[in-house]
Structures are given as structure tokens and as C-alpha cells.
Amino acid sequence: MQNGQGDYEKLPTSHPFRKHSQNLSALISGLRQAERIHKQMIRQGNEPAVSFSARMHSLMIGMIAEARLRKILFDPQGFNDRERKLIGRERSQIGQWVLAVECAFRRQYEVAMHLEIADPVDPIAVSRYGEIIRMLKDDLAPIIEGRNKVAHGEWVWEEKSKENTFRQAKRPLNYLEIKRRGQLIDSLAEMIHILIVSEPTFQRDFDDLYKKIDAIRPNIDGTDYSNFAIELRASARK
């Protein structure tokens, strides 16, 4: 970051950034427990418990995504009050993430709100902006938005509208699908945080962060889960 860790240490304990940082730390500790329990149920071959653990594991990732975004929003070196209020008015979590990226790019590349991002910005930056937005909407929306379905108890049927019409709920994501999406969220949050605080650092670190993301994405759908589960159960029998 631009001004170093020392500036964060000078923040009063009452500052929202400190509060959101502590919330995030507590959630990350909880995630480790959720992962451990999920793997334990897979080892035991207890399918109802695996299904329940997957929902709790997924819920933790969704909560961590929200906590990460709040920490980014309240970084004293980043967004201002106007930008925070604008992002906060977005009703969906994905909408807030997308708008946070847009505001960060507009800030660092001096793009007025009435202009398209592409207008005054160099093509490489525009390409990077498009990649981040696409990842949010395509790869991460299911787990960021899906936490609401889990938290609201829509485990078998999802309510489509206020007219009491329903559709079959999707199956819970498997362990590898959840874990890899969590890793993507971590790297993407780091990208956005760096971008809003320091555009030169973003330019320097983007390729390394994107390589981490690119290594995860081919297997994001967890098609290797069956082999993973077999190996876990085999290790439990030894």
C-alpha cells in the first residue's frame, strides 16, 4: 500500500476499518472450522452431513466476501464518503462489488461518471477492468449471492417472486467448488484493494495476482471432486 502498514497502526480503535478488519479475521477463523468439518464428513461418507456442511462452508465464503468488501470500502487510504454511500445504495452484493471496481477505476484513471470506462483509459487497463467484472459476474456471483438463499432457508425450493412461485433449489456446491471460489474472492479482493489505494501498485502486481486466479479457474467447477473424496475416505481407513 502507498503509505505502509504504519499508517494503519495509527488508526484509533474505534475506526470502522479496524472493526471490519476484526470481523474479517473472526470469519476467517470460522472458515477454517467449516472446512475442517466439511472434510471430516466427506471422509466419513455421511452424505446428509456433507450436504449440510457444504451449505455452511458456502455460507462462510459468502460472509467473508461481504466482510472483505466492507474492509476495502472503509480503508482510510481508499474510497471517500461519497463513493461509499454510492456503493452502499446497490441492493445486491454483486452490484456493490461491480460498482466498487468501477469507482476504483474511475478514481485512479480520472474517468468522469458520464464517460464510459473505455474512453480515456489505455487498452490494457480497460482489458483488466473487463476481466475483473467478468470474473465477478460469471465465477463468483453464485457464491456471493447464494449466501442469501442458504441463510433464508431456501434449501429445497427457491421463491422466484412475491407471488409464491417456486423453482427447485440448486444442489450445494462441493468442497472444491467452494474452496476455489473462496480463493478467487481473496485474490480479487486484493486486486480491488490495491487498485483503490495505489494504481501504480495495481499495475505492478496485477499480472502476478491474475496468474494465481488463472491457475484456479480451469478447475473452479470441482469436476475432480469425486477423486478428492475417494482419496479422503481412503486416508481415513489407513
Q: What percent of the chain shows pLDDT beyond 70?
A: 95
Rounded to 5°, angle at Cα 98 from 92 and 101: 145
pLDDT of residue 120: 64
pLDDT of residue 1: 38
Q: Which residues contact 92 (CB under 8 A, 6 or more apart)?
A: 145
**Who has greater pLDDT, 166 or 206?**
166
| Whether the Cβ atoms of residue 230 and residue 106 lie closer than 8 Å to each other | no
What pTM value is reported for the model? 0.86
Average pLDDT over residues 49-76: 94
Paired with 166 in beta bridges are 159
| Whether the Cβ atoms of residue 73 and residue 87 lie closer than 8 Å to each other | yes
Backbone angles phi, psi at 208, to 5 degrees: -65, -45
**Who has greater pLDDT, 54 or 107?**
54
Average pLDDT over residues 79-108: 91
- Kindly indicate the confidence band of residue 15, based on its pLDDT and cuts at 50, 70 and 90: very high
- What Cα–Cα distance (Å) separates residue 217 from each residue in 24, 57, 65, 146, 207? 24, 19, 17, 19, 15
Please name the residue that has the C-alpha cell 456446491: 173
pLDDT at 118 over 80: no
- pLDDT tens, 211-235? 888 888 889 999 999 999 999 999 8
How do 157-159 and 166-168 pair as beta strands?
antiparallel
Cell numbers given for 46: 455421511
- Kindly indicate the confidence band of residue 126, based on its pLDDT and cuts at 50, 70 and 90: confident
- pLDDT tens, 174-207? 999 999 999 988 988 888 888 888 878 888 888 8
Mean pLDDT of the chain, nearest integer: 88
Region of 92 (left: φ > 0; alpha: ψ -120 to 50; beta: rest) is beta
